[in-house]
């Protein structure tokens, strides 16, 4: 799950809510999911740190990832 997924789903939820043709219990469930996702997305944004890895090719065509200090 990425922020992009969260934002896409949030947009979908808001559209559904705004359309107004869902039942109240569905609307409540959508709202609840929206709030949860919002909170998660904000938290992800607040605590994130850029992850930098170098892709190193190895003999035989394989590769591995090694953390890189930027």
Partner 1 sequence: MALSFQFGSLSPTDEVWSVSQLTASAKRLVEGEFVPVWIRGEVVQCKAWPSGHWYFSLRDRTSQVRCCMWKRDAERAGVPPRDGTEVFVLGKPAIYEAKGEFQLNVSRVIPTAAVGAAQRELERVKAALHGDGLFDPARKRRIPELACTIAVVTSTAGAALRDILTVARKRWPCCRVLVIDARVQGGGAVDGLVSALWLVNRLAGVELCILGRGGGDREDLAAFNNEAVCRALAQVRVPTISAVGHETDISLTDLVADVRAATPSAAAELAVADRREVLRQLDEVAARLAAGLTGHTRLAAERLARTADRLHGGVTSALRRDRHHVVRLAAQLDALSPLRILDRGYAVPVGPDGRVLKRRAEFVAGEPFRLRLADGEVPARVEDR
Nearest partner of 17 among 3, 29, 4, judged by Cα: 29
- Smallest distance, partner 1 to C-beta of residue 8, A: 9
Number of Cβ within a 10 Å radius of residue 41: 19
Q: How far apart are CA 1 and CA 17, in angstroms?
A: 22
How far apart are the C-alpha atoms of 64 and 12, rounded to whole Å? 37
Q: Contacts with partner 1 in 27-66 (CB under 8 A)? A: 27-28, 30-31, 34-35, 38, 41-42, 44-45, 48-57, 63, 65
Site residues (CB under 8 A) for partner 1? 2-4, 7, 10-11, 13-14, 16-18, 20, 22, 24, 27-28, 30-31, 34-35, 38, 41-42, 44-45, 48-57, 63, 65, 68, 70
């Amino acid at each position: 799950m990425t922020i992009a997924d969260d934002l896409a789903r949030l947009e979908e939820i808001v559209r559904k809510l705004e359309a107004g043709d869902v039942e109240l219990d569905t609307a409540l469930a959508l709202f609840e999911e929206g709030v949860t996702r919002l909170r998660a997305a904000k938290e992800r944004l607040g605590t994130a740190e850029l992850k930098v890895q170098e892709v190193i090719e190895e003999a035989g065509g394989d590769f591995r990832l090694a953390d890189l200090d930027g």
